[in-house]
């Protein structure tokens, strides 16, 4: 089982940017999105600083964020990728299943992928993830390439909004009609 300190601070900058974006969306009355903490059980605590130095995860996490945008339930997960190929092993089966069930209930599920080497954010709708996931389950590629993605879902750069995913959420909704 993985431990908290074995994962280092992967993704923490991305999550910080998303958290700041969510604060801005809340201040503007556009969305209420909460970061879902992963429950941990501390194993070792530094007595001087009172910081947890080693812990294990109590249960499998579902997604990083959940909330509502103008009355629409949304959930999403944030991932970083440092190459043009994204390995599906970075996504867990229970996350895919949670997103599938979330969408069955009328919600919108997606991933935000930060391609660090390109310095761009990508909105991956659940439907696209599901296609790549099923391909892997049926014996195909266990990853997807950047070239396979729809370029219309690259998040635009915007002043004052670090990860402007609401524009792509709107596109996702329009593409479902």
Please compute, for residue 173, the number of CA atoms within 13 A of its CA located in the half-sphere on the CB side.
14
Give the residue among 107, 137, 105, 143 at the shortest CA–CA distance from 125.
107
Q: Is 62 annotated as a binding residue?
A: yes
Token reading at 161: 């909004």
Token reading at 176: 């479902």
Phi and psi at residue 91, to the nearest 5°: -120, 135
Q: Is 64 annotated as a binding residue?
A: yes
User: What are the beta bridge partners of residue 79?
Assistant: 113
**Which residue has tokens 């909704």?**
173
Phi and psi at residue 14, to the nearest 5°: -60, -50
Q: How does DSSP classify residue 97?
A: H
Phi and psi at residue 140, to the nearest 5°: -85, -165
Residues 6+ apart with CB under 8 A from 150: 128
Q: Is 38 annotated as a binding residue?
A: no
Q: Is 89 annotated as a binding residue?
A: no
Q: Which residues are annotated as a binding site?
A: 62, 64, 77, 95
Q: Which residues are annotated as a binding site for Mg(2+)?
A: 62, 64, 77, 95
């Amino acid at each position: 089982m993985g431990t908290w300190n074995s994962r280092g601070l992967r993704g923490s900058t991305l999550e910080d940017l998303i958290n700041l974006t969510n604060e801005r969306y809340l201040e503007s009355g556009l969305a209420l999105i909460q970061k879902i903490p992963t429950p941990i059980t501390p194993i070792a605590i530094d007595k001087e600083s009172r910081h947890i130095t080693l812990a294990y995860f109590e249960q499998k996490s579902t997604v990083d964020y959940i909330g509502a945008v103008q009355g629409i339930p949304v959930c999403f997960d944030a991932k970083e990728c440092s190459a043009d190929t994204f390995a599906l092993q970075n996504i867990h089966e229970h996350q895919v299943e949670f997103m599938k069930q979330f969408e069955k209930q009328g919600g919108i599920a997606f991933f935000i992928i930060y391609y660090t080497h390109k310095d761009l954010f990508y909105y991956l709708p659940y439907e696209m993830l599901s296609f790549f996931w099923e391909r892997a389950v049926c014996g195909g590629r266990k990853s997807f390439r950047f070239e396979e993605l729809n370029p219309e879902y690259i998040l635009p750069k915007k002043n004052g909004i670090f990860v402007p995913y609401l524009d792509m959420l709107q596109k996702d909704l329009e593409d479902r009609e």
